[in-house]
Amino acid sequence: MLQMNHSVLIFPEIQPLPQVLGDSRLRADVLLQIQNDPGTYAIFQSFTSQEQEAFLGFCMGERGLKVTYDPFFKHIFNPESHPDRLNRLLSCILGQEITVRKVLPLERRRISENSSLIIMDILVQLADGRLVNVEMQRVGYDFPIERSFCYGADLLVRQYDVAREDQGKDFSYHSIRPVYVIVLMEESPRIFYEHSGKYIHRSRISFDTGLKMNPLQNIIYISLDIFRGMKHNKLTELEAWLYFLSSDDPADILRIVRSYPIFQELYQDIVNFRFQPKELISMYSEALRIMDQNTVNYMIDELKAELSAQKAAVLQKDSEIERLRTQLAKYEAHTNREDSG
């Protein structure tokens, strides 16, 4: 078990365990440290009261920090300084040992990019050439299948463009490797709650004849809200990773470390942020800014969809009114003919 640089913290009903949240700090001390830097304090004051409390709770050692926020995720899972971490996370999700070769820039042709409620988004290439896109969403979309397959198709086209350029006349479609789109959702769409007790869904492509072929597009959905609502007696490593990604509860953190001591090093990296308030508050502010902007975009898209539905309903009513008018005109014409006869 890794040695920690901080003292032991005793939680109620939990036996002493090497500290993963760092030494407790007084609220006044944390506030004083923030106030000593005018720029940092100005950013802190721009937070909502709830955001301020979450920030202070972490700095005081009362809670953890959600690493799904883009700046923190990319710090913890930096493939250059910690290549083993992303390897292990993706290996657990994919159910096979993998090695990340490099992180790729996100240059894909996104469809309705501004409608995304993304917290974290990362694209990597594996050692065997496969591409894996990992996306974390606060709110699952009403039609996640369509969006996910568009992302997968974009990754395939990206491979195709590179292969055509590199191979020229020798290009072969056999050089195109499978792609994976992994979608982690903090709040899942209603359809996912129709499958009780299931929090991870892996796509399968089949033919009605039983023909078996390896699909190039692979979609994996992970519902973190459904996962946390289930009872997990003995944690698997995948379950430990999902708790690590989604929970800042000290009891969950201690349970993870107790089951898998390798997580102590990851939590230690998070704890180090507590003593760098200027850097921490800048990263925290950037994460909130992205989330706020995406929330606004999401709400705009929802309002547009609602307006479109209302317009469609009005058009349908207008069409029905016109149909009734036509029938009435025919009836009146028929009645007039009978009267004149």
Helix (H, G, I), strand (E, B) or coil at 296: helix
Q: Which amino acid is at 213?
A: M
Q: Give me the residue spans of the domains in the chain.
A: 66-247
In terms of Cα–Cα distance, which of 108, 138, 130, 133 is closest to 122?
Answer: 133
In terms of Cα–Cα distance, which of 115, 134, 114 is closest to 123?
Answer: 134
Which residues in 232-241 are b (16+ Cβ under 10 Å) and which e?
Answer: eeebebbbbb
pLDDT at 19: 56
pLDDT at 97: 93
pLDDT at 109: 47
Alpha-carbon span 341 to 336, nearest angstrom: 8
Say which residues have a Cβ less than 8 Å from residue 181's Cβ, sequence separation at least 6: 133, 135, 148, 151, 152, 155, 217, 218, 219, 220
pLDDT at 307: 60
pLDDT at 53: 85
| In contact, 64 and 253? CB cutoff 8 Å | yes
pLDDT at 136: 79
Going residue by residue through the chain (341 aa), what tens digit of pLDDT does each one get?
333 333 333 333 333 344 556 666 788 888 888 888 888 888 888 888 887 888 888 888 787 777 777 777 878 888 778 889 999 999 999 999 999 888 887 664 444 444 444 445 788 889 998 999 888 776 666 667 888 888 889 899 989 998 999 999 999 999 999 999 999 888 888 889 888 789 999 998 889 998 988 889 999 999 999 998 888 888 999 999 999 998 888 889 889 999 999 998 898 888 877 777 677 777 777 666 655 555 545 544 555 555 666 666 667 777 778 777 887 777 777 676 666 65
Alpha-carbon span 276 to 281, nearest angstrom: 9
Residues in the chain: 341
